[in-house]
Chain A
Amino acid sequence: MSTLWDTTGTEVIKALAAARSNGAAVTSGLALTFVVVAEEKHVEMAEKAATTAAAMHPCRLVMVVRREVTARTPRLDAEVSVGGRLGPGEAVQLRMYGRLALHAESVVLPLLAPDVPVVTWWPGMAPERLATDGLGVLAERRITDSAVQADPVRALRARAADYAPGDTDLAWTRITSWRSMLASAVDAAAGPASENVSVTGGQVYGRPDSASAALLAGWLSSRLFAQVQVVESDPKAPEGGGVPDAAGVSGVRLDLEGTDPLYIHRREGVGVVARAGRPDSSAALTEREIGELLGEELRRLDADESYCGALAAATNSRGLSDRSATRSLIWEDPAAGVRKASAEGSTDSPMVTTTGVRGTA
């Protein structure tokens, strides 16, 4: 591991090359470059999660921490390691101060591994429009987390408004085990000869402010062609599913044509399927750590059509899948407001640039 204080992008590239030739045996074969855009308070969590994900997918990890955007002197600190504390692969942690933070891509672009996909993850606050962050523009896959935003459901609407194929949200990843459980429960309800089962509708029980619950309802709506709503879970009513899990979902009701509905809810760490006149059955309904969620995200590097459908239905948006998969950088100066308040002169002129982005095949 080498630590560089007050350095330049060129020095970082040299340090990475040196670390690579020293520890060559650890990393052969990179599948992707994983860019993490973290705030200082999230660094520890993001490091842990990214390390877990890097252990599943050979990647070059580039973590960017923007600090003190208003600092007068731009400055870059970097830490480069191969097979070190940030997982078995190559890792670069960059701390950017001052105006440099607004041009983070100038440091990151030369650090991307040649000709492999780029995935960018915002563990905390994500920009309302991802195109305003140069680190989002250069990525083929962009991962946000609506659940950690101040108003998750509003954040989800922003994601839909800003959606481009290749975007996903960890609020969606969190419900994979729920979705898998529901699909399996419908399989079981379909009976032995797997006759056609008709699910006419349903309901999601959970926290009304949960982005995951909204997406789960959206997914069911898009699959069932029915309006599936989120209702607040009632801890007293058993079918209400009791207490919501970390994702904010406590249970689901699925209405079957001509028979009793299925109630699926979470009880003591497992998912339980209940149906009148039938014995309860159960399966693992795991709550996963962020690192494992990222591991799932990095498995597939193409657009997630199911997420697109769920997001569209959850937010009543249309035409999401028709949008272009590439974004052009929109210049926005987050320091402008602060600066105006402190009556300082502006240094950068507003501009719009288009960064050459690899097309998604």
Chain B
Amino acid sequence: MAADTRGSARGAKGAKGAKGKPQQRPGNPLRDPADRRLPRIPPPCALVVFGITGDLAQKKLLPAVYDLANRGLLPTSFVLLGFARRDWGVGEFIDLAHKAAKEHARTPWRQDIWNRVAAACKFVPGAFDDDNAFDTLAETLLALDESHGVHGNAAFYLSIPPDSFPVVLRQMQRTGMADNVDDSITGYWRRVVVEKPFGHDLPSSRELNELVDSVFTAQDVFRIDHYLGKETVQNLLALRFANTLFEPVWNSHHVDSVQITMAEDGGIGSRANFYDATGTARDVVQNHILQLLALTAMEEPVEYTSDAIRTEKLKVLRAISLPDDLTRYAIRGQYTQGWLAGQRVPGYVEEDKVPDDSKTETYVALRLGVQTRRWAGVPFYLRAGKRLPRRVTEIALTFRRAPHVPFTASDTESLGQNQLVIRVQPDEGVTLKFGSKVPGTVMEVRDVAMDFLYGTAFTEASPEAYERLLLDVLIGDATLFPRHQEVEASWTVIDPLEQFWAGQEPAHYRSGEWGPAEADEMLASDGRVWRRP
């Protein structure tokens, strides 16, 4: 059959409209925005990890590097450079990385891919206060330009305790490793990745931010909040801003209240030292929960870019108000011994290395307000805790009752309020709860739930949060990373609560219950109840 010869030579896109010999566009001719099969791949670069022997590095970071390599998402020129206080050669480092990747990787194990990752591994031993070690590190990094063609690009991942930050950052400053005043002049980038906690209150977080920002520049600092790497959290933006259905009712005219729950069934595990000094409010409310609140309450960003989104989130965080009556609306609790999922579990103060008289909270319930036109008068109830009946994170919007219902009161007795629930984890998905007629000869209306379920089967192939975030760092996409102003605005919310709670005895709740009675009373006094997630 003859080829269709209608039309001009539009087959090759880009030739369109060009007279004479078509010209390549500037930049890489093989990249085309219309070509959406090609994955986003970072430029040549090195990933330098401090604290490579730590728990997080082994459980999340190293497996994520392997998974990215396995998915073909790492650049051809890539180096993984480990730094730790171990008397090691690169061989031991590779052994450790091999074990970590093999144990925790999500993608299937492929030896040839691993061999490539191993060939790209480097290790520099040394303590954080050892000048020589950092000089060696700087030289090694410089040599990578020649030997591996990384073009000077490097991301430094600080997987270390916060009290080591200053010394490591100073070392980087001293050796000039962080130098990257303007990447359009130097032609390469240097980025730093920091993990939570971002300080323990506003002054300390400010201090930390100033330090990091003075060594690097503000746009080169990536603060990891792994909740933002979750598919469902990103889907919240799609749900709100890609649809016409939800946004018109996403305000105080229609929403009665919002509940954000982050429950864990586990205890504090081996983190006693850290946890006892931190508590739930600092551990998860300041970062994860307030970020979820910001994404739920934010206005539509002008475009889907990191600046636009972070600007809108910041506006919400700054608009958060605390209730006047903190005694009633800021509850904290601590778990006592009890039964959870058929097993006897110890109380918080009986956990290893926790002082008997500890007043640290393992549960927080709060009522916040968001002082904007959209949300004025809508209470945001937040709760987070450990040793609750099951592990679940969700955002639930409860809608107002219909102003008028033509049915008799007895017909609608079992009709609750409409709810839209975004289930962040597990059972990722969305639930819509609404009233429906009970089949039968009389008019009776009751609640039913309509489920959209990503289902574990469907999300198996989706990248893990760390994978996604690590890739974003190397590409330089800061959309999913909170800015330092956001961190500071969050501390502004938490600090007054911590001051109020200081010295107070937390309410107690039995392990395996949904928190202390005070939290239930808090909602009861507003005429509401907690949703059972």
Contact = CB atoms under 8 A, between A and B. Distances in A.
A269 B7 contact: no
Nearest to A195: B187
A260 to B, nearest CB: 14
B21 to A, nearest CB: 7
A139 interface: no
Interface string A182-222: 11111110111110111100000000000000000000111
A199 B28 CA distance: 8
Given A29-B452, A188-B76, A320 B11 contact: yes
Instruction: Indicate the member of A161, A183, A268, A300 with the most B CB atoms within 10 Å.
Output: A183
Interface in B446-485: 451-453, 455, 457-458, 460-461
A278 B5 CA distance: 45
Interface in A208-250: 220-225
B203 to A, nearest CB: 39
Contacts of B36: 300
A312 interface: yes
A255 B6 CA distance: 33
B412 interface: no
B163 interface: no
Contact of A184 (B71, B75, B116, B148): B75
B1 A162 contact: yes
A291 to B, nearest CB: 10
Interface stretch (B38-46, B295-303, B395-403, B524-532): B38-46
A222 B24 contact: no
Contacts of A28: 429, 451-453, 455
Given A161-B3, A317-B4, A321-B10, A305 B34 contact: yes
B451 A279 contact: no
A286 B460 CA distance: 19
A266 B365 CA distance: 57
Nearest to A305: B34
Contacts of B23: 225
B140 to A, nearest CB: 15
Given A187-B41, A225-B22, A25 B458 contact: no
B37 interface: yes
A355 interface: no
A271 B12 CA distance: 27
A188 B74 CA distance: 12
A191 B72 contact: no
Contacts of A180: 38-39, 41, 72
B325 interface: no
A273 to B, nearest CB: 5
B28 A190 contact: yes
B458 A269 contact: no
Contact of B187 (A88, A160, A193): A193
A149 interface: no
Nearest to B5: A318
Interface in B11-28: 11-15, 21-24, 26-28
B69 interface: yes
Contact of B116 (A282, A295, A316, A323): A282
B76 A283 contact: yes
Contact of B6 (A88, A191, A225, A319): A319
B152 interface: yes
A306 B34 contact: yes
A186 B30 contact: yes
Interface in B185-237: 187-188
B113 A179 contact: no
B373 interface: no
Nearest to B457: A88
A270 B34 contact: no
Q: Is the interface of B mostly helix, strand, loop or mixed?
A: loop
B404 interface: no
Contacts of A311: 11
A269 B6 contact: no
A333 interface: no
Contact of A188 (B112, B149, B187): B149
B44 to A, nearest CB: 5
A283 B148 CA distance: 12
B357 interface: no
Interface in B142-176: 146-149, 151-153
Contacts of B31: 183, 187
A56 B28 CA distance: 31
B30 A319 contact: no
Given A304-B37, A322-B10, A283 B75 contact: yes
B356 interface: no
B116 A223 contact: no
Contacts of B9: 318-319
Contact of A161 (B1, B14, B72, B461): B1
Contact of A279 (B71, B147, B187): B147
A199 B10 CA distance: 21
Given A180-B72, A187-B75, A306-B35, A283 B151 contact: no
Contact of B13 (A193, A222, A268, A296): A222
B409 to A, nearest CB: 32
Instruction: Indicate the member of B13, B30, B31, B41 with the most A CB atoms within 10 Å.
Output: B30
Interface in B96-116: 110, 112-113, 115-116
5 closest A-B pairs by CB: A312-B11, A269-B112, A88-B457, A319-B7, A192-B187
14 contacts: A87-B457, A160-B3, A179-B38, A184-B41, A185-B76, A188-B149, A198-B24, A279-B148, A283-B69, A309-B11, A319-B7, A319-B10, A319-B11, A321-B13
Interface of B: 1-15, 21-24, 26-32, 34-39, 41, 43-44, 69-72, 74-78, 110, 112-113, 115-116, 119, 146-149, 151-153, 184, 187-188, 429, 451-453, 455, 457-458, 460-461
